[in-house]
Amino acid sequence: MTGADSFWWYITLEGGSEQEEALSSLADLSGGIGSEEHEGSGKIRLRIYYRTSHDLGYWLELLNHVLESFPGISVVDMGKIENRQWHTEWKEAFPPLPVGEKFVVLAPWHRGSEPNDRIPLYIYPGSAFGTGYHESTQIALTLLERHMKPHWNIADIGTGSGILFIGAIRLGAGKVYARDLDPAVLNEVLNNMELNGIYKEEVDLKEGNLLQGFDHTVNLLIANIIIEPLMSMIPDVPHALCDGGIAIFSGLLTKEKDTFIETLNKAGLKIIDELERNDWWGVAVTKK
């Protein structure tokens, strides 16, 4: 173990007892690799652990951005803690997970335990969003398997871990374009591609801010990110879709549904499918 691995950053959140699910979601949305919950006096505190690959300020900024969608939850403590066998303990938090009708998401140390009737997606749980264990990623994968057709060209915007385009490739996608604003994410994507036997030449993987500078048309566009960037991207989506193309959006809370539908209508997009899981909602749309 290197000196950099000898401790973990932590940030502690506090919310009401009714916000337990939201607190758990925040651990995944902010790139946490483990968490511990404590309850008392009508409040819940969740200590989220983060890797030392970034400084504490990076994780705090990321978490504060996500917290904007979760009123009533606040940061109450932060710091570092000496490593206590998290290199083995945190692995237990990522068992094989069936998603939808076709996929099973597995961390690489579970290779060999795949059900025969499901398509394995090997994802290393790192700091990039999209381990497969969050409801919004499960919604996106389920809508993907429902609507994608073999040989379709795919755009995965805000790719995170790469799990969505890896799933698309496993379903027979043609050309794949993947974009993420964070250049640090791209190495994690390459690692996950290697885990799944996908060569880097098979994917047009680049740093990119949503659809800025994206001059391709695709059959299917996927974006699993929070509402603000999704809504800013919506006006550009029809231009990125070919005739009959479909866009899948996830990362949305059910309480944000009406606002998002209004934005879709203004952009000339109509809903063809939608899915809810706990407090999360995702939608598949096409051009009117």
Q: How many CB atoms lie within 10 A of CB 151?
A: 10
Pick from 188, 197, 116: which is nearest to 159 by CA? 188
Report the half-sphere exposure of 216 (CA within 13 A, side-chain side).
Answer: 16
What tens digit of pLDDT does each residue of 219-243 get?
A: 999 999 888 899 999 999 999 999 9
Q: In this predicted structure, what is the pLDDT of residue 279?
A: 83
With 0.85 as the threshold, say if the pTM is over it: no
DSSP, res 95: -
Residue burial 26-43, b: 16+ Cβ < 10 Å; e: rest: bbbbbbbbbbeeeeeeee
What tens digit of pLDDT does each residue of 113-163 get?
A: 888 899 999 998 765 566 677 888 999 999 999 999 999 999 999 998 899
| Whole-number Å distance between alpha carbons of 17 and 42 | 6
For 192, list phi and psi in degrees, rounded to 5: -70, -35
| Whole-number Å distance between alpha carbons of 38 and 229 | 33
Q: In this predicted structure, what is the pLDDT of residue 236?
A: 95
Q: How far is CA 74 from the centre of its chain?
A: 22
Give the SS3 label for residue 136: helix
Residues forming a β-bridge with 61: none
Query: What are the residues whose beta carbons fall under 8 Å from the beta carbon of 38, sequence distance 6 or more?
Result: 44, 45, 46, 47
Q: In this predicted structure, what is the pLDDT of residue 4?
A: 47
Q: Are 268 and 238 in contact (CB under 8 A)?
A: yes
Query: Which residue type occupies 168?
Result: A
Own/partner long-range contacts of 89-93 (Cβ < 8 Å, ≥24 apart): 89/34, 90/33, 90/34, 90/49, 90/125, 93/34, 93/125
For 246, list phi and psi in degrees, rounded to 5: -125, 140
Residues forming a β-bridge with 42: none
Q: Are 220 and 148 in contact (CB under 8 A)?
A: yes
Give the lowest-confidence range in 9-13, 83-87, 154-158, 203-207.
Answer: 83-87
For residue 200, give Cα distances in angstroms to 129, 155, 267, 288: 20, 15, 34, 35
The pLDDT mean for the chain works out to 88
Q: Are 133 and 29 in contact (CB under 8 A)?
A: no
